[in-house]
Amino acid sequence: MSRKPCCVGEGLKKGAWTTEEDKKLISYIHEHGEGGWRDIPQKAGLKRCGKSCRLRWANYLKPDIKRGEFSYEEEQIIIMLHASRGNKWSAIARHLPKRTDNEVKNYWNTHLKKRLLDQGIDPLTHKPLASNPNPATPTTSEGQDDSNPNLDEQSQSGSMSPKSLPISSSSCSLQKISNSDETPRNNGSLSSNKCRFKKSSSTSKLLNKVATKASSIGNMVSASMEGSLIRSTTFSPCLNDVFSETSQFQMDEFAPFSHSSDQHITDHMNEDINMDFDLSNSEFSFSQFIEQFSNIEAEEANAIGGYNQDLLLSDVSSTSVDEDNMMQNITGWSNYLVDDSDFSYDTNQDFDDKNFI
DNA sequence: AACAGTCTCAACCGCCTCGAG
DNA sequence: TCTCGAGGCGGTTGAGACTGT
């Protein structure tokens, strides 16, 4: 045993990396590959700790890292996974393609945590704060989310905020995808013994709800990719491009969500496409889709107690949605939510709504 | 324009796990 | 079986950017 420690030595540089250092590290890794971090600084001519090199590479220099704003879908995935797993940033990041744990962690600490607090939700427990009996409707200006300028815009302009969207009980048949016992139907990716998240909490109820709805959308997306959508249902030209270029549509990139099945898709298609949003509208945008999708959720979301429309949709209108990634995200998200081995399921246990706030 | 306060996020720190020896 | 180091992870820090006065 004669290993030398990783980070000992005089004259090791700390602080921000320079462009020159980045070039050296990239060049070395391109030539020799990752690994052996202890020796990389010396071999690459860097006065850095090997650990620092690994971090720099993993978080910022790797070619397949996605930078910039988090999409609406990514935000929701982070919130949901954090609710179930806590501060397991690497575990959460694994389900966000091309995002790093550090970036997810930072985004949570600087954006999402505050938003939850503004919503009156404890970011640790994901339950309503005890001091706020009505978290869904912050009453003071301080309670509003300053990070979402659209709230003010909407209230001033009179345009419909997600919270004020009219509830249309007949607008959508999504609820039909549940069986009479309220367990989500088996959609292929959802095996019959994986029907329910075991934990009885407002969070798990939300997870079940979203899984149910999202799996429906996922089916639609999956079906469309396989050309099984009925002829009258068309997406916008942009989305059609995505579907027609299936060779470029690499679900494998979305590793945790890569499996999909066409089983039962046909069963759900008629229901899914009966939704009010007009998929044949060439002006159809994802933001509009989410807004309309939210209509039927508004009433139920308020009843959940913890999460409400402000949280789930607070940034929809302001978030620039990458529609290419969106198609992957919806399918992946839905598959993930209903088929993640990290969760425990109890087939026989019905939801106990009494446990919900 | 200048200053103070706040926010963001890249990077560091220290602990933990796992595997090699 | 034990020791030790590499790699991984989550928490924290602090410099720079941003915002308000």
* CB neighbours of residue A339 within 10 Å: 20
Model pLDDT, residue A64: 80
Q: Which string of DSSP letters, residue by residue, matches A151-205?
A: HHHHHHH-PPPGGGSPP-TTS--GGGGB-TTSPBPP-SSS-TT---BS--SHHHH
Which fold does the domain A19-61 belong to in CATH?
Answer: Arc Repressor Mutant, subunit A (1.10.10)
CA–CA gap between residue A315 and residue A221 (Å, rounded):
23
Please state whether strand C lies within 7 Å of residue A50 at its CB atom.
Answer: yes
Q: Residue A274: how many CA atoms within 13 Å on its side-chain side?
A: 13
How far in angstroms lies nucleotide C9's C1' from the CA of residue A56?
15
Predicted model pTM: 0.49
Does the pLDDT at position A74 exceed 50?
yes
- Map out the domains of chain A as residue ranges: 19-61, 118-355
Q: Which amino acid is at A6?
A: C
Nearest to A83 by CA among A255, A257, A211, A206: A206
A33 touches strand C (CB under 7 A): no
CA atoms within 13 A on the CB side of A102: 10
Res. A151: pLDDT tops 50:
no
* Percent of chain A with pLDDT strictly greater than 70: 33
Closest C1' nucleotide to A110's CA: B8
Distance from residue A238 (CA) to nucleotide B16 (C1'), in Å?
Answer: 47
pLDDT for residue A73: 85
Average pLDDT, chain A: 52
Neighbours of A293 (CB within 10 A): 21
Does residue A209 register a pLDDT over 70?
no
Both tokens of residue A27? Answer: 């060049």
List, for residues A221-267, the tens digit of each pLDDT value.
333 333 333 332 323 233 333 223 322 323 333 333 333 333 332 33
Question: Tell me, in Å, how far CA of A335 is from C1' of C6?
Answer: 35
Lowest mean pLDDT among A99-108, A183-192, A223-232, A330-339: A183-192
Rounded-to-integer distance, Cα A317 and Cα A307, Å: 18
CA A86 to C1' C17, whole Å = 30
Q: For strand C, is any atom closer than 7 Å to the CB of A87?
A: yes
Looking at residues A141-158, what average pLDDT do you find?
A: 32
Distance (Å, rounded) from C-alpha A145 to C-alpha A240? 36
**CA A327 / C1′ B4 distance in Å:** 46
Cβ of A54 near strand C (distance < 7 A): yes
Tokens of A55: 């971090």
pLDDT, average across residues A144-163 = 31
Tokens 């030209």 appear where?
A237
User: pLDDT band at residue A218, thresholds of 50, 70 and 90?
Assistant: very low
Query: In this predicted model, what pLDDT tens digit does every residue of A284-316 receive, in sequence order?
Result: 333 443 343 344 333 333 333 334 433 333 333
Query: Strand B: which positions are within 7 A of a protein CB?
Result: 7-14, 20-21
